[in-house]
Amino acid sequence: MASTRVFYLPTTRHILTLCTAVFLAPLSAFAQGSSSSSNSEIRQQTQQQPSSSSAARTRRAEAAGAAVTLETNEALFTVATGLNACGYDDDLANSNPVRIEIRADVEAAIQASPAAAKSRQALCNYMSEHQLNDFGRQVAQYVSLGLYLSPPPALAPTADQLDMPPDALQVVNVLPLLRTFAEDTALHSIWIKHRPEYEAITARVHDPLTRIILDANIYIRVPVSTYDGRTFQVLVEPMLAPSAPNARIYATDYDIVTSPDTAGNIRLEQVRHLYLHYAIEPLVYSSASSMQRLTPLLKPVQAAPLEFIYKSDIVALLTECLIKAIEARTMDTGFTPPAKPKTRNVRAEEVQYNAALGVYERQAEQVRRRQVDLDMRQGWVLTDYFYGQMAQREHDSASLKEEMGEMVYGMDVGREQHHDEQIAFLPEGSGEFVRRVRPQPTGMMLAEELMMKGDLDGARDLAQKALTDPKQDHAEAEFVVARVELMEGDPETSLAGLKDVLATSKNPRTLAWAHIYLGRLLDIKTPPERTEAIAEYKAATNVPGVQPDARAAAQAGLKTAFIVPKTTHTEEEPVDPTGKAEKDAYKPDEPDPPAKPH
């Protein structure tokens, strides 16, 4: 019998190079190498140095010149096809024809092979035994798993279990059954057969996707795109339901899995919604500490039909309301604006145009206002405020980044709270299809949490353990130890440790805060060493990629010498010479908030 050689081909990956100019660089290439690995690396909190696998993803993104991609993924295809083989028929009538064709090919393989029929039964039994009451989350957990798998035939997790989304871990034991099913049905050959259709779909959606992202960038006036450690990834998978895109934010990665309809189109408005999260959240979180004054606005929304995170986290609520306002300002109202006169200085034509423009603007504004009112009644209570703010700023040249602080500081919290208390909320909300997945704290991330909860011994133990492991980031561990010593009232030992951190760390955030802590320690020495402290604060502001919170702390140190807050401590209480800024700078994760972006 002649042997058959199977070649595993690279996955299609479009690189979208985006900027704020009025043009967009064309599709650069089909990147060589599988995107399956690129979209399933270990995701870490931005406060940590990248792990080896996430660093590999970083290098690929930098080499490609963009962190925004449009991809297909064979591992995800395998998972989705397994779902279809086990009765996943959601929105089948509106799916792209390739879904029907692939299902037919798989069924033919099963009918022709008793082994394939047996492996399908085993796979379906597992899925039946692990059903969830929420059908959307039932499918989402398998999508999450698909994003963290290497390409077939291995289909192995590409991250340690502690670094995978919790919902993916719920079904990770399906993998042996999925591998057997894929082998017995020759699923890779079916994938190769239908690759041209997948490539045709990605080619079709590339330009519309590029336009909506470019339009969003232009509207909020983001700076020219540079890689900042985060990724935005659109994965096209026709084997899933077109009506139910799966979007999730996991640490620094923003992923949306979407499916084409019968005509090959995807739901661009939902892709755009996630992209606005990707573009706006760094701007919001750079002012997160100043938003605590807005917490009274959480009280009126307790009766609103919102998820818990939006009732407990003012930053999450504010972000979503700002996005809703931008969507309302830029929505398709169904009216076409009048065309400008082709000739100039013709008074009659100008009068006619201005009259038609006035009619259009009134009609469009009525549609937009109805959308804002609906958003408000669904619980997004700051939408009206931001809608007005964005309307005022549409003719300004400043970017949203520059205006964010003014919009937050300029808000009359009492007035907004009173206004929100008058809203008659609807019984059901719009929901938010973007799922936020909180990474499981491990390593120094876990040490940070323990330290902020007062478990200094636990934090120190984790850091000391990391220092004995050659594979761990010793600079990050030293940073934790130095701050534990600081909180225990040993500033001299802490000062020496911080100097060691500056000599070895490559993490911009760690470097900036180590300089700041050194400056504060020098400020409180007896006698104070103010000149040396100023040098440390200046060094913090000069760290490449310094984050807004660190820059603000350093600039405060440049203006005024640090003074230990006057608080009363018992002998058992740890003393924190850095005061409130320590907690602000290293605030532990709250339940289900978005990760603080770089």
Eight-class DSSP state of 228: -
Residue 15: band (very low, low, confident or very high) from pLDDT cuts 50, 70, 90: low
Residue 55: band (very low, low, confident or very high) from pLDDT cuts 50, 70, 90: very low
Share of the chain above pLDDT 70, in %: 78
- Positive or negative torsion for Cα 575, 576, 580, 586: negative
572 vs 118: which has the higher pLDDT: 118
Domain ranges in the chain with CATH number 1.25.40: 443-585
pLDDT attached to residue 439: 56
What does pLDDT average to over the chain?
Answer: 80
- Residue among 322, 324, 356, 358 nearest 339 (CA): 356
pLDDT above 80: residue 378: yes
Q: Where are the alpha helices (DSSP H) in 286-341?
A: 308-312, 314-329
Lowest mean pLDDT among 30-39, 70-79, 172-181: 30-39
Q: How many CA atoms lie within 13 A of 401 on its CB side?
A: 11
3, 153, 195, 206, 399 from 189: Cα distances, Å: 15, 12, 10, 26, 49
Task: List pLDDT tens digits, range 461-498.
Answer: 988 888 888 878 888 889 999 988 888 888 888 889 99
Q: Other C-beta atoms within 10 Å of 506: how many? A: 9
220 vs 586: which has the higher pLDDT: 220
In the numeric block, which tokens belong to residue 78? 């395998």
Q: How many CA atoms lie within 13 A of 114 on its CB side?
A: 0
79, 286, 521, 538 from 560: Cα distances, Å: 58, 22, 14, 13
pLDDT attached to residue 28: 26
17 vs 588: which has the higher pLDDT: 17
Residue 399: band (very low, low, confident or very high) from pLDDT cuts 50, 70, 90: confident
Average pLDDT over residues 273-298: 83
pLDDT above 70: residue 390: yes
Please provide the CATH number assigned to the domain covering 443-585.
1.25.40
pLDDT above 90: residue 74: yes
β-pairing, 68-71 with 13-15?
antiparallel
Task: List pLDDT tens digits, range 545-582.
Answer: 667 668 888 888 999 888 876 544 443 333 344 433 43
- Positive or negative torsion for Cα 528, 532, 535, 536: negative
pLDDT above 70: residue 425: yes
pLDDT attached to residue 6: 35
pLDDT attached to residue 57: 36
pLDDT above 90: residue 459: no
What is d(CA 292, CA 597) in angstroms, rounded to the nearest whole number?
18
pLDDT above 80: residue 34: no
Q: What is the pTM of this model?
A: 0.68
pLDDT attached to residue 566: 54
- Residue among 103, 96, 101 nearest 237 (CA): 96
Amino acid residing at 137 = R
344 vs 575: which has the higher pLDDT: 344
What is d(CA 290, CA 314) in angstroms, rounded to the nearest whole number?
11
Average pLDDT over residues 75-88: 96
pLDDT attached to residue 573: 38
